[in-house]
Amino acid sequence: MRLTRTLALGASLLVLLSACATGGSSKPTIKIGSDRFYEAQVVAELYAQALENAGYTVERNLGLGTRAVTAAAIESGQIDLKPEYLGSGLAHYDKSKITGDPATNASALDAILQGKAGGISVLAWSPGQDGNAFVVRKETADQLKLTKMSDLAGVQDQLVWGLPPECATNPVCSGSLKDSYGISFPPKQLKQLDACGAEIAEALKGKAVDVGELCSTQPEIATMGFVVLEDDKKTQPAENLAPLVRDELLNKLSSSDRTAFTALLDSVSAKLTTEALLALGVAHQIDRKDVPAIARTFLRDNGLIQ
């Protein structure tokens, strides 16, 4: 099941009406999960609160683990819904299909997931994206003349690498480093730290590591003055966000509820610009607000809940 962005946004007004007119008693409980890092948890919480506002009961399983864990969870039915980064989600199943175009990635991922667990649908994707970014301190960039990823191969053994444990099995992390940039994996000097949180950023700032993989919307890149190395081999795919939903759940809904349910999720995704993702990161990483509060403020500010 796939709803185009145009139809999804056009249907968003219907959601507000159906949320008021439809009772919650006939609506199935929705189990929402997410990957471990903060942004995935915040986006999952956005979907959760929007659905609760529309009368659904939601069970949260946020921060379950790596993509391998959450992919298995939605395939098995442990969860019904999760936010996914299109490029990395597609690479999990078939790296050869990833592209820099979100529509192509979404279509390819949807085609694969329709063959999993009775069908898993990719709904409309966000205008913003958050990809992998390899960064160094400015002094390191200046000293070693680093501006692009290709510059790392000749100095790789001089550097302490800060990478998440899942990099070893992630084709757009270790796969890209080895296959496109000639970086030995694991690097000679490696510290394994949590992905897309403060650990790698703080280690980089404190000179415990020299090069780290961060998420491109992490506010620490700007606040700590890191240099993002150009992905000159174009290894990183478009990483727009979209909800993945089990068709088993969608099939429990009436036709009108299914349309409203899909439009509601898509209306949330439509507000997730790259700037919005960065602002959510600032709220969590810099302002130290908790995930439910961040989600509630975002939804209210964007007119998605009262």
Same domain for 82 and 175, yes or no, is no
pLDDT tens readout for residues 78-127: 999 999 999 999 999 999 999 999 999 999 999 999 999 999 999 999 99
Residue 15: what pLDDT? 43
Is residue 10's pLDDT more than 60? Answer: no
Is residue 9's pLDDT more than 80? Answer: no
Confidence of residue 169 (pLDDT cuts 50, 70, 90): very high
Same domain for 137 and 265, yes or no, is no
Is residue 145's pLDDT more than 80? Answer: yes
Same domain for 13 and 117, yes or no, is yes
- Give me the sign of the Cα torsion angle 275, 280, 282, 285: negative
8 A C-beta contact, residue 135 and residue 204: yes
In degrees and rounded to multiples of 5, residue 202 shows phi and psi of -65, -40
DSSP code for 285 = I
Q: Where are the beta strands (DSSP E) in 55-194?
A: 58-65, 81-85, 120-122, 132-136, 161-163, 190-192
Same domain for 259 and 217, yes or no, is no
Residue 265: what pLDDT? 98
pTM for this model (two decimals)? 0.88
Provide the residue range defining the domain that includes 248: 5-129+237-301
- Domain final residue, candidates 228, 257, 278: 228
Region of poorest pLDDT, from 21-35, 41-55, 178-192, 221-235 = 21-35
Same domain for 218 and 287, yes or no, is no
Is residue 128's pLDDT more than 60? Answer: yes
Is residue 181's pLDDT more than 90? Answer: yes
In degrees and rounded to multiples of 5, residue 77 shows phi and psi of 90, 5
Q: Which residues pair with 85 in a beta bridge?
A: 241
Same domain for 116 and 73, yes or no, is yes
Residue 197: what pLDDT? 78
Is residue 22's pLDDT more than 80? Answer: no
Same domain for 205 and 64, yes or no, is no
Residue 171: what pLDDT? 93
- Domain final residue, candidates 201, 228, 255: 228
Q: State the CATH number of the domain containing residue 223.
A: 3.40.190.120
Q: Please, what is the average pLDDT of the chain? A: 92
pLDDT tens readout for residues 56-65: 999 999 999 9
Q: Which residues pair with 213 in a beta bridge?
A: 134
Confidence of residue 25 (pLDDT cuts 50, 70, 90): very low
- Domain final residue, candidates 206, 228, 250: 228
Same domain for 70 and 155, yes or no, is no
Report the C-alpha gap between 245 and 101 in whole angstroms.
21
Is residue 7's pLDDT more than 80? Answer: no
What total number of domains does the chain contain? 2
Same domain for 74 and 42, yes or no, is yes
